[in-house]
Structure 1
Amino acid sequence: MEIRPAIPEDFDQVVALSTLVRPYGVGARTWLRRSLTERLGTDRFVGFVAEADGRVAGWAGLTRADHLDTPNAYSLNLLVHPDFRRQGFGTRLLQICDDWLAALPSSFVQSYADGDGKFFALAKGFEATTEMTYAGRELTDAILVPPVPDGYTLVPFAELEAADVFPAYRESTADIPGGPPFEVPFDWFSTELWPGSLLDRELSLALLEGGRVASFTMVNREDTRTWNDMTGTVRDHRGKGLAGFLKLASLSAARDAGVTHSFTLMNLENPPIRALNERLGYREVFRRTYVTRQN
């Protein structure tokens, strides 16, 4: 076993590993390409690989999480090939990440643990907080979309600017139950999230009331798959069915645009959104646990 810093040439093998371990993930290829080209060697991202028999058997990446309301926050992505598990690869990869973080005065690490990864994380000092469900649905049959709710105007993100959507996004993320401590700065939203190459500005939709975004749904697309990344409604417009309408309208537009599968993440501590997604045809694919550790 050899643990070493990641290099851009690792891209193909790390993508193959990610696809094998998390086949339901949408956007991994795009995210990894950006991480291993634009961000490698900066304080925004650091990556390590574990090699065995001349191939990548494990991967760990730390991405700075500027959207969290805590200093030196990083998101950890740690993967080990099934053929090499329970041989110390995960432990060695986590240790080298911890060594890198040790140079900081303090740090906060968040991650999503799959299956037995939860017990690995707990043994390494992480705390488990929220259970998450990855859910998916096929887009085969035509989707009937009701009329736009009275008093609202439906627009795609292509007709909006980051500053138009940001207030609703910030208010919605602040109310996510059991999730990370969001305090989204506009700089991060406008430079990282909004211009992201995965964000589909035709499938991401908003409902306007009085010229302001009252409800929105953000959709990432990679090839023929989409990821419903975030859907939210500002507080004084909740309870009117706006989120359900937008998600349905977006699914219909995605199907018409050639998308075959849609995926989303459901917080099990948020029964309303879980019930909504189930009514929209989403079914559980996999469960993950949100884990954190303060160093």
Structure 2
Amino acid sequence: MTVSVRDLRPEVRADVEGFVGVWHRALPYLVVTAEAVVHGATRAHPDAHARPLLAEENGEIIGTAQVGIAHDSPEPGQGFVNVYVHPERTRRGAGALLLRTAEEHLAAVGATTLFAWVLDEPDNRVFAERHGYRASRCAHFLRLDLANGTLPPLQALPPGVELRTAADFADDPRPLFELDAETTLDEPGDVDTEFTDYEAWLEETWRHPLNSHELTSVVLVDGRPAAFSAARTDGATRYGTTMTGSARAFRGRGLAKLAKNDSLHRARAAGYTEAFTGNDAGNGPMLAINKWFGYEVCATEVRHVRELG
């Protein structure tokens, strides 16, 4: 049996469904659909040099890799490669071949440092270390049972505070871009991110097919967006939070918690049964908020780093 690696063809449904199938088995805590995979493959910024890869064995897709450059980082040359193999198709060489192909591509487009998320399991960590990657920070996947869990009651709004949704900004989402950019600057992580390109944000984030503008809650203080909780869904049962935060001038007032609680209640009312999110292990305030909602850690990933050259 021979394993081969090739590029994902976003126009080929079997490729896209195979990609999603591997992710559903390897990362069941993510909200992902075929439409999201196609969007990521076709709408990525040119400077990202994105190259989604597939590993095949006898016509069966058994592995995937997300590959690219963090084009929105102020530090150039920050590459990423996230390899996932179907859990029942490991030890066939797919992971190593995906990694080698990704590294060659990233080196060719100017990457000097590579970052890889690795599930915190012994075999995966040994694989990463064997290929020259050293462990860095951790992050958790968290799950909340929306169907059977008990959410905190909705809070009364303080004076001057109102709740809106992202749909209310459909004609001009720039205020949400500015809020997202400010909160993202303070997210803990190995790679700093700066949102400076509004058009790129519109294409990659605002118009993402999983984004739910109706379930994304925005807190306004005296008419100014102050906090938000961004929601994505698979259109069926799964809801995910991709970012929750407050502008610096409004922190410490519980506004991010207010936004997330509103979004979760409306997601449950809309029929979503599972809620997922992810947090850096060092993000104590957000982990505390999610514990208050009833989220539980369901898996952990470890960021690994390798310097090229």
TM-score, normalising length: structure 2: 0.86
Contact 2:39 2:209 in 1 (8 A): no
Distance 1:236 1:47, change over 3 A: closer
The correspondence for 1:218, drawn from 230, 239, 256, is 230
Residues in 2 aligned to 1:294 and 1:171: alpha-carbon distance in whole angstroms:
29
Is it true that 1:229 corresponds to 2:238 in the alignment?
Answer: no
SS at match of 1:46: coil
Distance 1:151 1:37, change over 3 A: closer
The correspondence for 1:150, drawn from 159, 162, 168, is 159
Q: Which amino acid aligns with 2:223?
A: G
Deviation track 1:180-215 (CA, whole Å, cap 9, x = no partner) reads 211122333222111211111111111112332111
The correspondence for 2:184, drawn from 141, 158, 173, is 173
The correspondence for 1:76, drawn from 71, 81, 92, is 81
Alpha-carbon offset, residue 225 of structure 1: 0.9
Residues in 1 aligned to 2:68 and 2:106: alpha-carbon distance in whole angstroms:
12
Alpha-carbon offset, residue 42 of structure 1: 9.5
Distance 1:3 1:179, change over 3 A: closer
Residues in 2 aligned to 1:132 and 1:82: alpha-carbon distance in whole angstroms:
21
Match of 1:25 in 2: 30
Residues in 2 aligned to 1:122 and 1:59: alpha-carbon distance in whole angstroms:
19
Unaligned runs of 5+ in 1: none
Contact 1:69 1:184 in 2 (8 A): no
Residues in 1 aligned to 2:173 and 2:190: alpha-carbon distance in whole angstroms:
23
The correspondence for 1:6, drawn from 5, 8, 26, is 8
Q: Which amino acid aligns with 1:120?
A: F
1:189-228 to structure 2, matched below 5 A, reads: 189-223=201-235, 224-228=237-241
Distance 1:42 1:7, change over 3 A: farther
Contact 1:71 1:108 in 2 (8 A): no
Contact 2:215 2:231 in 1 (8 A): yes
Alpha-carbon offset, residue 72 of structure 1: 4.4
Match of 1:133 in 2: 140
Residues in 1 aligned to 2:203 and 2:7: alpha-carbon distance in whole angstroms:
27
Residues in 2 aligned to 1:245 and 1:176: alpha-carbon distance in whole angstroms:
19
Match of 1:184 in 2: 195
Deviates more, 1:86-95 or 1:5-14: 5-14
Alpha-carbon offset, residue 64 of structure 1: 4.1
Residues in 1 aligned to 2:137 and 2:97: alpha-carbon distance in whole angstroms:
26
Residues in 1 aligned to 2:228 and 2:304: alpha-carbon distance in whole angstroms:
27
The correspondence for 1:111, drawn from 93, 102, 116, is 116
Contact 1:162 1:189 in 2 (8 A): no
Is it true that 1:54 corresponds to 2:59 in the alignment?
Answer: yes
Q: Which amino acid aligns with 2:54?
A: V
Alpha-carbon offset, residue 241 of structure 1: 0.9
Residues in 2 aligned to 1:232 and 1:165: alpha-carbon distance in whole angstroms:
12
Number of residues paired by the alignment? 295
Contact 2:47 2:71 in 1 (8 A): no
Contact 2:53 2:67 in 1 (8 A): no
Residues in 2 aligned to 1:5 and 1:234: alpha-carbon distance in whole angstroms:
40
Match of 2:288 in 1: 275
Deviation track 1:224-246 (CA, whole Å, cap 9, x = no partner) reads 21110001111221111111111
Residues in 2 aligned to 1:37 and 1:237: alpha-carbon distance in whole angstroms:
37
Alpha-carbon offset, residue 255 of structure 1: 0.8
Residues in 1 aligned to 2:303 and 2:231: alpha-carbon distance in whole angstroms:
22
Contact 2:4 2:94 in 1 (8 A): no
Deviation track 1:55-83 (CA, whole Å, cap 9, x = no partner) reads 11222231443332232444323111223
Residues in 2 aligned to 1:205 and 1:130: alpha-carbon distance in whole angstroms:
29
Cα root mean square deviation, aligned: 2.4
Distance 1:13 1:227, change over 3 A: same
SS at match of 1:251: helix
Residues in 2 aligned to 1:106 and 1:76: alpha-carbon distance in whole angstroms:
11
Residues in 2 aligned to 1:163 and 1:11: alpha-carbon distance in whole angstroms:
32
Residues in 2 aligned to 1:274 and 1:42: alpha-carbon distance in whole angstroms:
33
